[in-house]
Amino acid sequence: MFLQKAWRRAAFSIYGYMHFTKSGLQDHAKKFKSEDMQAQIEGKNCIVTGANSGIGYATAEGLASRGATVYMVCRNKERGEAALSNIQTMTGNPNIFLEVCDLSSVSDIKSFASRFSSKDQPLHILVNNAGLIEHNRVTTSEGLELNFAVNVVGTYAMTELMLPLMEKAAPDARVITVSSGGMYTSPLTNDLQFSEANFDGTLQYSRNKRVQVALTEKWAEMYSNKGIGFYSMHPGWADTPGVTKSLPGFSKALSGKLRTNEEGADTVVWLALQPKEKLVSGAFYFDRAEATKHFPLAGTAGSHAIINSIIDSLRSLCKFAP
């Protein structure tokens, strides 16, 4: 077990330095096709969570610049309004709206979903971007560990509650979940809220991101007949405000080598624009290509067998009907 953990960390560090940095993107970009990003998506309704900064902001701007109607879901009203104003100015697109919602609260997500559903309009693209790394054990008012609440429960609840609106947009509807290469270091575990005595926020984050990838895989299987595509992706190592705040040592050590927010959002926007027949529902994407979900000999692949029990736990926590 110890050797396997050490191998996962070493493989992640070496592979990441080679591929997840700015130089990795420059190498991969030699295969990019410029026409892939030229599609216009006027009339399509998009939700982007955590859209006031970082990759979420760059994603919202990328979609808005191509004519989409964008709903920016943000926790902080003032920051959200400032980001919205900036994107409208940059893109000239007036069809951008702020929705205030705390993604750490199931109750708040349900309230948002109820308000948004009352519009009775199709939802073409849901981007589950909101996420965080909290290094201390923090419990929400609903009794959930904070990282898990935002990264996993928030993603799960938002997706499940938006499915009826996404069915209205079928067969072109898609859910894009921003995961992380950090998931390569962790198998799935039923210890969703990190019961171990010595809390490790970075480890909890990597576990959360593994759940997102496994959830995407399961959603693709469960809802294959609904005309909705499900995709998870890794943005690479980007110099976002979240990384600077949560991983200052990492940010400093790789100063000048990290990707910009726009480079981190590139594959999210690419996934939003591609014809669905070019994509594989349930797959994990990195730099505009399908990527492996597991490193060789890392012992993570078999862990996906427990995703059904994890979904049962999430459904119970969210108080959704069985």
Half-sphere exposure of 119 (CA within 13 A, CB side): 14
Q: Is residue 35 part of a domain?
A: no
Catalytic one among 205, 223, 231, 285?
A: 205
Pairing of strands 125-128, 45-49: parallel
* CA–CA separation, 47 and 123 (whole Å): 8
- pLDDT over 80 (residue 1): no
Q: Check residue 246 and give its pLDDT.
A: 81
Cα 184 to the center of its chain, rounded Å: 15
Instruction: Give the count of domains, the chain.
Output: 1
Write down how long the chain is.
Answer: 322
- Closest residue by Cα to residue 26 from 232, 272, 282, 263: 263
Q: Quick check: is 179 in a domain?
A: yes
What's the pTM?
Answer: 0.96
Give percent above pLDDT 90 in the chain: 87
pLDDT for 321 equals 86
1 assigned to some structural domain = no
Distance CA 193, CA 139 (A): 10
Residue 227, in any domain of the structure: yes
Residue 298 lies in a domain: yes
Residue range(s) defining the domain that contains residue 128: 41-317
What percent of the chain is predicted at pLDDT more than 70?
Answer: 99
At 204-255, the pLDDT tens digits run 999 999 999 999 999 999 999 999 999 999 999 998 888 888 888 888 888 8
SS3 106: helix
What's the CA gap between 101 and 14, in Å, rounded?
38
- Tokens read off for 316: 């119970």
Query: Considering the domain boundaries, does residue 226 fall inside one?
Result: yes
Average pLDDT, the chain: 95
Residue type, 164: P
Which CATH number is 109's domain given?
Answer: 3.40.50.720
Report, as an integer, the average pLDDT of 188-210: 97
Average pLDDT over residues 69-95: 98
pLDDT grade for 317, boundaries at 50, 70 and 90: very high
Predicted confidence at residue 247, as pLDDT, reads: 85
- The yes-or-no answer on residue 57 being catalytic is no
Instruction: Look at residue 66 and tell me if it is in a domain.
Output: yes
User: What pLDDT, in 10s, does the model give residues 264-314?
Assistant: 999 999 999 999 999 999 999 999 999 999 998 888 999 999 999 999 999
Q: How would residue 7 be classed by pLDDT, with cut points 50, 70 and 90?
A: confident
Task: Please say if the pLDDT value at position 122 is more than 90.
Answer: yes
Residue 307 falls within a domain, yes or no?
yes
